[in-house]
């Protein structure tokens, strides 16, 4: 049986380069005033010996870390996938790595994830807030002396930095667009009654209808899970009971894709031309790749979601340099993307 190759240690690198262990450590951590010749000699020794630095151990010794904790509500949600791409791009350029977990919308799970990340010595945390846990997470981060940033879908605790879309304005834009097309009977489908995002959107939706003197009926505001089949059934029942409805605001792209099937089950089509009450317009909040592939393609009102990740990454970097800076709330402006469904 072949013997194991002994693991190369920092002492081996020091002996090979004929320098002290402290000099090797300073070169590897990019600290101290070391001559270029010595740096080259140490780096050559590292390369020749195949030395791999134990970053975790170095973090424990120096109280510094290249890890950033990222706790998302649902890592399969396209909204959070885009955010992850944005924050990862910013932080990895600066030598940081993401330590990813998900809370599954469970406040206790969020607290446990953050606790584990702090124990692992992360340099900062970005998280999707949960109403019953956000204040606890903020306190935990403060006690650990690290910055925390909220990646929000709605406005949250004023004591923490957060980046979020403007849900109220997004609903105003969507509603005004439909009204200017001649729609007078507009429904809202999707989301949970406990959702702050939904509440903000309904605020914009309702205020716009009232502004134009249009009906804002509770029976036209329907909760629905984020599954296409459920949305299809919900929309079919809604249009059967209230055939006057000619337009629907959908809480998510998944609900909107299901709504298309629901409309078709009622013998109607989806599109921009409301002729003889046989066509229903559909608008979704948020944009996904599938929105351009559906038949018809989805009209959406969307904030630049990846930019939430960019902004969060930049804010974390700034906070890690000066964790006592003032709290910032960054609200991103939504935009209407016109396609074929409305």
| The pLDDT value given to residue 54 | 59
Considering the domain architecture, whether residues 280 and 207 belong to the same structural domain is answered as yes
Name the packing angle between helices 134-144 and 107-119 (round to 10°).
Answer: 10
Q: Which residues lie below 8 Å from residue 38, measured CB to CB, with a gap of 6+?
A: 17, 19, 23, 27
Question: What's the pLDDT score for residue 143?
Answer: 85
In a domain, 110, yes or no: yes
Sign of CA dihedral 98, 100, 103, 104: positive
The tokens of 294 are what? Answer: 């559906």
**Which CATH number belongs to the domain containing residue 114 in this structure?**
3.40.50.2300
246: in domain? yes
Sequence length of the chain is 342
126 and 214 both lie in a single domain: no
Whether residue 59 lies inside any domain: the answer is no
pLDDT at position 4 is: 54
Say if residue 156 is in the same domain as residue 236. no
Measured between alpha carbons, how far is 285 from 288 in angstroms, rounded to an integer?
10
The 3-state secondary structure of the chain, one letter per residue? CCCCCCCCCHHHHHHHHCCCHHHHHHHHCCCCCCCHHHHHHHHHHHHHHCCCCCHHHHHHHHCCCCEEEEEECCCCCHHHHHHHHHHHHHHHCCCCEEEEEECCCCHHHHHHHHHHHHHCCCCEEEECCCCCCHHHHHHHHHHHCCCEEEECCCCCCCCCEEEEECHHHHHHHHHHHHHHCCCCCEEEECECCCCHHHHHHHHHHHHHHHHCCCCCCHHHEECECCCHHHHHHHHHHHHHHCCCCCEEEECCHHHHHHHHHHHHHCCCEECCCCCCCCEEEEEEECCCHHHHCCCCCCEEEECCHHHHHHHHHHHHHHHHHCCCCCCCEEEECCEEECCCCC
Does 131 fall in a domain?
A: yes
How, if at all, do strands 279-285 and 335-337 pair? unpaired
Residue 235 inside a domain? The answer is yes
pLDDT for 55: 58
Same domain, 161 and 171: no
pTM for this prediction: 0.77
Q: For residue 2, what pLDDT is reported?
A: 47
Check whether residue 185 and residue 276 sit in a common domain: yes
Q: How far apart are CA 261 and CA 266, in angstroms?
A: 9
Judge if 160 and 205 occupy the same domain: no
Question: Do both 34 and 158 map to the same domain?
Answer: no
339 part of a folded domain: no
Going from the C-alpha of 263 to that of each of 215, 252, 257, 259, 322, the distances in angstroms are 21, 16, 10, 6, 53
pLDDT for 284 equals 97
- Residue 214, domain member (yes or no): yes
Residues 293 and 171 in one domain: yes
Same domain, residue pair 173 and 281: yes
Q: Are 288 and 337 in contact (CB under 8 A)?
A: no
The per-residue pLDDT for 1 is 45
In a domain, 5, yes or no: no
Task: Please tell me the distance from the alpha carbon of residue 340 to that of residue 225, in angstroms, as a whole number.
Answer: 24
pLDDT the model gives residue 10: 81
157/192 same-domain check: no
Domain tally, the chain? 3
CA distances from 243 to 18, 238, 267 (A): 85, 8, 11
The tens-digit pLDDT sequence of the chain (342 residues) is 444 557 788 888 889 999 887 788 778 766 667 788 888 899 898 888 877 765 555 555 445 578 999 999 999 888 899 999 999 999 999 999 999 999 999 999 999 999 999 988 899 999 999 988 999 999 899 888 899 999 988 888 778 899 999 999 999 999 999 999 999 999 999 999 989 999 999 999 999 999 999 999 999 999 998 899 999 999 999 999 999 999 999 999 999 999 999 999 999 999 987 665 689 999 999 998 888 899 999 999 998 889 999 999 999 999 988 866 788 999 999 999 999 999
Q: Is residue 137 located within the same domain as residue 258? A: no
* Domain identity same for 184 and 152: no
pLDDT at residue 65, rounded to an integer: 76
Boundaries of domain holding 98? 66-165+306-332
């Amino acid at each position: 049986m072949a013997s194991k190759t002994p693991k190369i240690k920092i002492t081996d690198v020091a002996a090979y380069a004929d320098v002290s262990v402290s000099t090797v450590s300073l070169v590897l951590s990019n600290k101290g005033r070391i001559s270029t010749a010595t740096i080259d000699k140490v780096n050559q020794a590292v390369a020749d010996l195949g030395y791999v630095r134990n970053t975790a151990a170095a973090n424990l010794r120096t109280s510094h870390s290249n890890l950033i904790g990222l706790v998302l509500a649902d890592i399969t949600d396209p909204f959070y996938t885009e955010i992850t791409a944005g924050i990862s791009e910013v932080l990895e350029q600066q030598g940081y790595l993401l330590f990813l977990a998900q809370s599954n919308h469970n406040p206790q799970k969020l607290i446990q994830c953050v606790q584990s990340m702090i124990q692992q010595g992360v340099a900062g945390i970005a998280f999707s807030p949960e109403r019953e846990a956000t204040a606890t997470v903020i306190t935990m981060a403060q006690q650990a002396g690290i910055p925390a940033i909220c990646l929000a879908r709605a406005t949250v605790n004023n004591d923490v930095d957060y980046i979020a879309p403007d849900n109220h304005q997004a609903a105003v834009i969507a509603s005004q667009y439909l009204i200017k097309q001649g729609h007078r009977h507009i429904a809202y489908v999707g989301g949970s009654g406990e959702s702050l995002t939904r509440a903000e959107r309904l605020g914009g939706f309702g205020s716009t209808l009232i502004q134009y003197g249009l009906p804002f009926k509770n029976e036209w505001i329907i909760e629905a899970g984020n599954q296409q089949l459920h949305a299809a059934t919900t929309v079919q029942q809604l249009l059967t009971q209230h055939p006057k409805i000619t337009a629907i605001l959908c809480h998510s792209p998944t609900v909107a894709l299901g709504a298309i099937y629901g409309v078709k089950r009622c013998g109607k089509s989806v599109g921009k031309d409301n002729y003889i009450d046989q066509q229903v317009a559909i608008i979704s909040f948020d944009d996904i790749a599938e929105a351009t592939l559906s038949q018809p393609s989805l009209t959406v009102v969307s904030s630049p979601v990846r930019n939430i990740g960019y902004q969060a990454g930049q804010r974390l970097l700034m906070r890690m340099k000066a964790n006592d800076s003032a709290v910032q709330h960054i609200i991103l402006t939504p935009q209407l993307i016109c396609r074929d469904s409305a």
